[in-house]
Structure 1
């Protein structure tokens, strides 16, 4: 049976088959070039979408933050009345950051922040809490040119 199959194969297949020759491409199309172009376009569109998102988030935050100001000031002043020195330091640090102009300084004083900072300075048991209270009081002082720098004490 094998001999018959071998004879038939040689009878019907007299020519040698073509062995894995390179295909002839007469066009300049290359799949890798198209893939790299697509990846480049996706990367640029991704950056564009990220920039649009960051710009939108910045715009929204810029418009919402003024409405949160009074509430954050009140929370910062109320942090000064807590017994934990860490929360007191956090409240004093916030007040020092908020006191950037005369209007906000007056608002902090009207809410009782200056008196609470003085009480915190008197009642504090560690130096870090006293130092943070002193920084906040220095930021609340009306004279910007003669502010006391706490690091020099």
Structure 2
């Protein structure tokens, strides 16, 4: 599967709540590192992340990948991602943020998905209290720092 087709399936699977199709883009031992929920390892957990974690607090997902670049073993793409929040303080508002997807590939499947995203503006739009935004963004920064440290030791 070429990068463009993979990314289209990736986005469509999230938008249609098809965790199985999404998980099948990953190797059996693949890991999805979500900016909000953390790491999900293996196809069953990745499918569950889409079918349950994503849709417990949000709906009406839109995900678009832009300008993919790949050398066959790594795939980068800018993205825009949005959803309608089900959280009470959001009052049904849409959250939108931009980021970069970083995928390690093997035999045409995703071994590891990581992302860097600017999430704070979306939380402001959703009426999150400043203290809650600081806590969430702080956790994201700590998780990113831990992944960087882990990579240095490999």
TM value normalised by structure 1: 0.25
Higher strand share: 2
Q: Give the alignment's TM-score, normalised by structure 2.
A: 0.25
Structure possessing the higher relative contact order (Cα contacts under 8 Å, 6 or more residues apart): 2
Greater C-alpha Rg: 1
Q: Point out the structure with the larger helix share.
A: 1
